[in-house]
Amino acid sequence: MKNLLSIITLVLCVWLSFGCTDGAQKRKSGEVSFHRIHASSLFPSSSPCVLSPRASNTKSSLLVMHTHGPCSSLSSKKATTSPKTPNHDDILRLDQARVKSIHSRLSKKSTVQDRVSQSQSTDLEVRDGSTLGSGNYIVTVGIGTPKHNLSLVFDTGSDLTWTQCEPCGKSKTCYPQEEPIFNPSSSTSYSNLSCSSPFCNSLTSQGYYRNCSASNCIYGAVYGDRSFTLGFLAKEKFTLNSDVFDNINFGCGENNKGLFYGAAGLLGLGRGTFSFPSQTAMTYNNIFSYCLPSSPDYTGHLTFGSTGGLSNSVKYTPISTSTDSASFYGLDIVGITVAGKELEIPLTVFSTAGAIIDSGTVITRLPPMAYAALRTAFKENMSNYTITMGRAILDTCYNFTGLESVEIPKVSLSFEGGTVVEVDSRGILYVFDVSQVCLAFAGNGDDGDVAIFGNVQQMTIEVVYDGAGGRVGFAPNGCM
Ligand SMILES: *[C@@H]1O[C@H](CO)[C@@H](O)[C@H](O)[C@H]1NC(C)=O
Ligand SMILES: *[C@@H]1O[C@H](CO)[C@@H](O)[C@H](O)[C@H]1NC(C)=O
Ligand SMILES: *[C@@H]1O[C@H](CO)[C@@H](O)[C@H](O)[C@H]1NC(C)=O
Ligand SMILES: *[C@@H]1O[C@H](CO)[C@@H](O)[C@H](O)[C@H]1NC(C)=O
Ligand SMILES: *[C@@H]1O[C@H](CO)[C@@H](O)[C@H](O)[C@H]1NC(C)=O
Ligand SMILES: *[C@@H]1O[C@H](CO)[C@@H](O)[C@H](O)[C@H]1NC(C)=O
């Protein structure tokens, strides 16, 4: 099996002319501490979608696609209704909006009073203020009877699953989506939840807006960039490949606004009781894992239930209790290694802020002092390359024009329990173009702001969320 994998990898390396030299350069005494990358591999190719080989094997495994690019189910044939592909500056701006709202939600400085005055500033409750950012990754799930396939952005930072529903309010307030909008009146398994249902009654305590209309339960969620969804709380049949769940509580949104880039809604993978893993815990034991592909040319997977054959290579860290959030998965970062050398960062720098892992944040955010140490070490090792100006939240950038290959130092993050996660070579740099390639990490503005392990750094890693076991695990080479 391992041989077969290396052959496949080798063939792909040759075919895609990727710089897959890491493996070949491993020394017996230990691994080399840099990546040699062909400059051409830094850019998306124009190849067609390459499907992940793992995804079809498990019945509870869904294909994960980038919202844009050849693999996306949202890559439109009907270009007129499809929203524009965001550019890098949009992505990073939205990312900062998401991070800002996460910080205000988890702020150690924020008091009850802050939250109250915050929630009075808009019509809807804003405590669940995670913006959907650039909505990078989607999966397709079947909803209703007959089954209606819908592409949903998945989000480990929020709980409620929702999709846009007909009739989209009196003034047609749905944003454009690629697939036909779900129509509850054409599904025989749909039912509204009543205002007296326990699920409806816990909306407010879970950070959502709640109201009643003719004893039907109304929910609302506002995200940090002011995108929102408002509609009926309902029950429906959900189908994931061949797994069928008859009574999933979800939001049937008739009034929705936001930048979802054609996705039909959201699959909530957070830790709260509303989330999809919590609602399917009887079947999947509150365990799921995903692998985010390194480029829009590949698919990854989102798999519910036990990790099966992978379990040996997964290294776990406990879900941290120091970050007080019902939805987020907290982690304890304890160190950073650059080019094989552990940086000297006092442990209190990490413990003061705490950390979470988030599928929806793009760029990893570190406490200011930790980021400064990372940047210094990275710059030192990259001193052979031409520095160029920073862009958006990224301040350490290089001009690689004319270079055939570059050597970049390896970066890894260490977590509580001795778990070390090596960032994939494609998760270290954010590429605007060949003349502006930047270190893909950023510093927080405040020592007290929570650190976030973002999705660029998670690429190709199998990330296992074991809610029942209170731990998050990592294994290399989960997908391409
Ligand atoms: C829905 O998706 C599944 C698997 O992705 C596919 O087999 C099925 O044909 C699709 N159904 C419809 C109605 O498009
Ligand atoms: C759900 O409630 C809405 C609003 O009252 C109503 O129009 C719709 O028919 C209800 N659906 C079902 C299946 O009862
Ligand atoms: C609940 O809905 C009614 C009308 O449907 C509206 O008048 C009222 O303001 C809403 N309550 C809240 C707290 O938003
Ligand atoms: C960067 O780190 C690697 C691995 O430790 C080392 O071989 C290389 O010489 C360093 N480069 C510079 C310019 O310091
Ligand atoms: C970096 O520069 C030093 C000194 O100029 C040189 O010895 C070394 O080989 C260079 N390293 C790389 C990776 O180009
Ligand atoms: C990058 O370097 C090339 C070649 O040295 C130069 O022509 C170009 O102007 C540089 N671009 C930027 C943005 O600095």
Asked if residues 365 and 454 have their Cβ atoms less than 8 Å apart, the reply is: yes
Q: Which ligand is nearest to the CA of 145?
A: 1
Position 78 scores a pLDDT of: 41
pLDDT of residue 122: 33
Structure tokens given for 229: 């969804």
* Pair of tokens at residue 341: 């050398």
- Distance of alpha carbon 393 from alpha carbon 277, whole angstroms: 33
pLDDT in the model for residue 58: 66
**Of residues 47, 40, 248, the one with CA closest to residue 152:** 248
- Name the residue at shortest CA distance from atom 5 of ligand 6: 401
Residues with CB under 6 A from ligand 5: 384, 407
Ligand 2 atom at minimal distance to the Cα of residue 213: 5
What's the full length of the chain, in residues?
A: 480
Task: Find all residues with CB under 8 Å of 415, minimum gap 6, and list them.
Answer: 317, 331, 332, 333, 334, 421
For atom 8 of ligand 5, the residue with the nearest CA is 384
What gap in Å lies between CA 331 and CA 245, rounded to an integer? Answer: 30
What is the radius of gyration, based on Cα positions, of the chain? 22
Determine the residue type at 108.
K
Ligand 2 centre from 184 Cα, in Å? Answer: 8
> For position 134, what pLDDT does the model report?
53
**Residue 254 Cα distances to 110, 182, 230, 232, 341, angstroms:** 32, 10, 6, 8, 53
Q: What atom of ligand 1 comes closest to residue 142's alpha carbon?
A: 1
Question: Relative to the CA of 407, which ligand 4 atom is closest?
Answer: 1
In this structure, are residues 190 and 166 in contact, taking their beta carbons and an 8 Å threshold? no
3-class DSSP state for residue 449? Answer: coil
Ligand nearest to the CA of 219: 3
Q: Which residues of the chain have pLDDT under 70?
A: 1-31, 44-46, 52-59, 75-85, 107-135, 169, 172, 224-226, 259, 307-311, 322-326
Residue-wise pLDDT tens digits, 226-240: 678 999 999 999 999
Q: How far is the CA of 368 from the centre of ligand 5 (A)?
A: 30
Q: Spell out the residues 6+ positions from residue 65 whose beta carbon is closer than 8 angstroms to its own.
A: 71, 72, 73, 74, 137, 138, 139, 151, 293, 296, 299, 300
**If residue 98 lies in a helix (H) or strand (E), which one and from where to where?**
helix 88-106
Q: Which atom of ligand 5 is nearest to the CA of 407?
A: 13
For residue 337, the model assigns a pLDDT of 97
Say which residues have a Cβ less than 8 Å from residue 137's Cβ, sequence separation at least 6: 64, 65, 66, 67, 153, 154, 290, 292, 300, 359, 455
- Estimate the share of the chain in helix, then strand, then coil, as percent rounded to the nearest 5: 20, 35, 45
Q: Cβ(388) to ligand 6 under 6 A?
A: yes
Question: How many Cβ atoms from other residues are within 10 Å of residue 443's Cβ?
Answer: 19
- Domains delineated in the chain: 47-304 (2.40.70.10), 311-475 (2.40.70.10)
Best residue for ligand 5 mutational test, from 21, 36, 384 (most atoms within 8 Å of Cβ): 384
* Any atom of ligand 4 within 6 Å of the Cβ of 384: yes
pLDDT in tens, 298-335: 889 999 998 666 667 899 999 997 666 668 999 999 99
pTM over cut 0.85: yes
- Dist. CA 226–CA 78, nearest whole Å: 27
The pick from 147, 238, 241 for probing ligand 1's pocket by mutation, whose C-beta has the most ligand atoms within 8 angstroms, reads: 147
Reading the block at residue 473, the tokens are 């695990």
Q: Spell out the residues 6+ positions from residue 145 whose beta carbon is closer than 8 angstroms to its own.
A: 187, 188, 189, 237
Task: Identify the nearest ligand to the CA of 218 by its number.
Answer: 3
Q: How far is the CA of 257 from the centre of ligand 2 (A)?
A: 22
| Residues belonging to the active site | 155, 358
Please tell me the distance from the alpha carbon of residue 85 to that of residue 476, in angstroms, as a whole number.
Answer: 30
Tokens of 27: 């020394």
Q: Name the closest-CA residue to atom 3, ligand 6.
A: 401
